[in-house]
A and B are shown apart, each in its own frame.
Chain A
Amino acid sequence: MSLTLNDIGRIAKLARLELSGPQSERMLGQLNGFFDIVEQMNAVDTTGVEPLAHPTAVIGEVALRLRPDVVSEPNNREANQKSAPAVERGLFLVPKVIE
């Protein structure tokens, strides 16, 4: 299986990346080169193997922790917005979405 330029365009759109024509060509070659080495995964029989998400789960159950649903952080809006590209009256500004 090989990716096509169409696929690259579709994936870039999903990833919210804008690739020029030459960039897409280059990306296509590199991704296909990568998926060549992925092929060897198909030869592995994984029937009945539970996917491993948290590595230490291989030696014992890892319980996902939930914290109580209560406010734990103080209001720190100014510091949190210090690095925002566009802020007005404490709000993040984005281009108009609804006309």
Chain B
Amino acid sequence: MTAKQIHEMGVAELAAAIRHKQTSSVEAAQALLARAKQHENLGAYLAFNEDATLAQARAADARVAAGERSPLLGVPIAHKDIFVTQDFPTTAGSKMLAGYQSPFDATVVAKLAGAGTVTLGKLNCDEFAMGGSNENSAYAVAHNPWDTSRVPGGSSGGSAVAVAARLAPAVTGTDTGGSIRQPASFCNVTGIKPTYGRCSRYGMVAFASSLDQAGPMARSAADCATLLTAMAGPDIDRDSTSLDRPAEDYTAWLGKPREGASAAQPLKGLRIGLPKEFFGEGCAPDVIAAVRTALAEYEKLGATLVDISLPRTELSIPVYYIIAPAEASSNLSRFDGVKFGHRAVQYDDLVDMYQKTRSEGFGPEVQRRIMIGTYVLSHGYYDAYYLKAQQIRRLIAQDFQQAFTQCDVIAGPVAPTVAWKIGEKGDDPVANYLADIFTLPGSLAGLPGMSVPAGFGAGGLPVGLQLLGNYFREGELLQAAHAFQLATDWHTKSPEGF
């Protein structure tokens, strides 16, 4: 054992400890599983399979013993329960998929396993990744470890809780409208959603196929870079929207010298655009204050701040909540009680079986989105809603291209407030949708985005700084986040008792 306990180590540290035989993958996995079970009341995990975890860990230890060297070898991580896994059940947080056993692993899961990670279990999330508080999970309430009466954010809520409470050094998440960035912000975690199409969607339970994207969440930008390097890359035969661009080494970007930069000013020349729409009265003062302080730090690091405008920010809410439910209603039509998942026990005929199965299996928010999506795609309404939303989607994406002529990176808050109380927004869909305002524009445009711990707001709750880059500029985002984390220690803070 090393002086530092296993749960206190990030990815790089733990991989080094395993590599140098100060600990083993098996020992690390056992310690983290015990810790996860000790904190079961946080609602982070939905499933374990200790035998499978330890078998993977023994295999990783054998690879270490055979002399293999890789930055993730033997490191235990956990996957959002939206990725299908052969060794663990996959529910997508829905009763519809209770007990579902996938015959294959998602590409992202397989790629990480190939790089040597060990799976601790499956993480809680909003049902079919629909939600921003994890309250839509059919299985368990997830609690924010910074204040357990508050939500951890969502939909990758369990993922954020696991990292924040030191139950896992890193995890996977998915981001359709902000589902990596917002829970990362609420829980003081670093997370990155890459460019749409950068990570394969194969084996990710589909929500909105033109928006869904996988990404890592961890305790630092450097650890995120290591994971993303392993996760991303083309998957041409299995995901028709996977980008046909070679994989990249994101860790190489972290310390890459910028032209004109110095040790004191590593980000010299970086132009950071601040959309005025992100800093208005729609954002809580405590959040703006933390973000402004972080931006002042960026100036010290050599970056310059530029005022920009994303004039259609507010429109991104209706546009997203037309497009995403439309795609969801189509994707979720596969759940009919025939080939997999829940089937109602009693029914009169085939149609009745479909209806009862779906009404029993889907929770209220999923049913609402299916209703919205079905309506906007129905005859006579398609042009007015779905097509119109797709047209505005182009205008929103063009606004970003306009903005990127004035800056390299866009920065602002991730969410208008810190984490809210469990139950506070109740069953009011519009109240929940409005809270997504700052993450939706980047999602609609398919741009890479991060949440970087930036300090604390009201009640000592974490605030994330959102960084958005142009297409394929994940490396530059990670570099900007890494430089900030070398100069600050917000990302190292853990909640009291964890």
Q: Do A and B bind each other?
A: yes
Residues of chain A touching chain B, judged by Cβ–Cβ distance below 8 Å, are 3, 7-8, 11-12, 14-19, 27, 30-31, 33-34, 36-38, 40-41, 44, 46, 49-56, 58-59, 64-65, 67, 72, 76, 79-86, 92, 94-97
Question: Which of A64, A79, A83 is the one whose CB lies under 8 Å from B99?
Answer: A83
Question: Which of A18, A41, A58 is the one whose CB lies under 8 Å from B401?
Answer: A58
Docked Cα-Cα span, A19 to B364, in Å, equals: 11
Residue B444, interface by CB 8 Å: yes
8 Å CB contacts to A: which residues of B375-389? 375, 378, 385, 387-389
Residues of chain B touching chain A, judged by Cβ–Cβ distance below 8 Å, are 99-101, 103, 195-197, 210-211, 236-237, 240-241, 243-244, 312, 314-315, 317-319, 321-322, 329, 333, 336-343, 347, 349-351, 353-356, 358-359, 362, 367-368, 370-372, 374-375, 378, 385, 387-395, 397-398, 401, 427-430, 433-434, 444-447, 471
A54 contacts B241, C-beta separation under 8 Å: yes
Question: Which of A41, A67, A85 is the one whose CB lies under 8 Å from B392?
Answer: A41
Docked Cα-Cα span, A82 to B340, in Å, equals: 8
B329 contacts A34, C-beta separation under 8 Å: no
Number of A-B residue pairs at CB separation under 8 A: 171
A-B contact pairs, 6 of them (CB 8 A): A41-B318, A50-B391, A53-B210, A72-B237, A80-B103, A85-B340
B371 contacts A37, C-beta separation under 8 Å: no
Shortest distance between the CB of A24 and any CB in chain B (Å): 10
Shortest distance between the CB of B97 and any CB in chain A (Å): 8
A16-B355, A50-B391, A85-B341 known; A56 vs B197 contact (CB < 8 Å): yes
Q: Which residues of A contact B319 (CB under 8 A)?
A: 41
A84 contacts B339, C-beta separation under 8 Å: yes
User: Most chain-A CB neighbours within 10 Å: which of B358, B371, B375, B433?
Assistant: B371
B390 contacts A92, C-beta separation under 8 Å: no
Q: Which residues of B contact A37 (CB under 8 A)?
A: 317-318, 321, 430, 433-434
Q: Which residue of B lies closest to A55 (CB)?
A: B446
Q: Which residues of B contact A18 (CB under 8 A)?
A: 355-356, 358-359
A85 contacts B343, C-beta separation under 8 Å: yes
User: Most chain-B CB neighbours within 10 Å: which of A46, A55, A64, A82?
Assistant: A55
A40 contacts B315, C-beta separation under 8 Å: yes
Shortest distance between the CB of A38 and any CB in chain B (Å): 4
Docked Cα-Cα span, A11 to B445, in Å, equals: 29
A15 contacts B370, C-beta separation under 8 Å: yes
Q: Which residue of B lies closest to A64 (CB)?
A: B240
B371 contacts A15, C-beta separation under 8 Å: yes
Q: Which residues of B contact A80 (CB under 8 A)?
A: 103
Q: Which residues of A contact B354 (CB under 8 A)?
A: 16
Q: Which residue of B lies closest to A47 (CB)?
A: B391
Docked Cα-Cα span, A8 to B393, in Å, equals: 27
A54 contacts B210, C-beta separation under 8 Å: yes
Shortest distance between the CB of A7 and any CB in chain B (Å): 8
User: What 6 A-B pairs come out closest when comparing CB atoms?
Assistant: A55-B446, A51-B390, A79-B103, A85-B343, A52-B394, A46-B391
A17 contacts B370, C-beta separation under 8 Å: yes
B338 contacts A50, C-beta separation under 8 Å: no
Docked Cα-Cα span, A95 to B354, in Å, equals: 11
Docked Cα-Cα span, A17 to B351, in Å, equals: 10
Q: Which residue of B lies closest to A7 (CB)?
A: B375
Beyond A52-B394, A84-B339, 20 extra complex contacts between A and B, CB < 8 Å: A11-B374, A17-B362, A34-B372, A34-B429, A34-B430, A37-B317, A38-B321, A38-B385, A40-B318, A50-B391, A53-B390, A54-B196, A55-B196, A55-B211, A55-B445, A56-B196, A81-B339, A83-B99, A92-B338, A94-B353
B430 contacts A11, C-beta separation under 8 Å: no
B394 contacts A97, C-beta separation under 8 Å: no
User: Most chain-B CB neighbours within 10 Å: which of A36, A67, A83?
Assistant: A83
Q: Which residues of B contact A81 (CB under 8 A)?
A: 339
Question: Which of B100, B351, B362, B430 is the one whose CB lies under 8 Å from A83?
Answer: B100
A27 contacts B392, C-beta separation under 8 Å: no
B315 contacts A92, C-beta separation under 8 Å: no
B390 contacts A40, C-beta separation under 8 Å: no
Question: Which of A12, A44, A49 is the one whose CB lies under 8 Å from B371?
Answer: A12
Docked Cα-Cα span, A27 to B367, in Å, equals: 9
Q: Which residues of B contact A44 (CB under 8 A)?
A: 312, 315, 388, 391-392, 395
Docked Cα-Cα span, A30 to B425, in Å, equals: 14
Q: Which residues of B contact A12 (CB under 8 A)?
A: 371
Docked Cα-Cα span, A21 to B340, in Å, equals: 29
Shortest distance between the CB of A92 and any CB in chain B (Å): 5
Docked Cα-Cα span, A51 to B374, in Å, equals: 19
Docked Cα-Cα span, A79 to B101, in Å, equals: 9
Q: Which residues of A contact B371 (CB under 8 A)?
A: 8, 11-12, 15, 17, 27, 31
B340 contacts A38, C-beta separation under 8 Å: no
B387 contacts A51, C-beta separation under 8 Å: yes
Question: Which of A41, A52, A79 is the one whose CB lies under 8 Å from B315?
Answer: A41
Question: Which of B103, B385, B471 is the one whose CB lies under 8 Å from A76?
Answer: B103
Docked Cα-Cα span, A23 to B383, in Å, equals: 28
Q: Which residue of B lies closest to A27 (CB)?
A: B371
Question: Which of B314, B340, B355 is the one whose CB lies under 8 Å from A17?
Answer: B355
B315 contacts A55, C-beta separation under 8 Å: no
B338 contacts A49, C-beta separation under 8 Å: no
Docked Cα-Cα span, A79 to B318, in Å, equals: 41
Question: Which of B195, B339, B394, B471 is the one whose CB lies under 8 Å from A51?
Answer: B394
Docked Cα-Cα span, A59 to B397, in Å, equals: 9
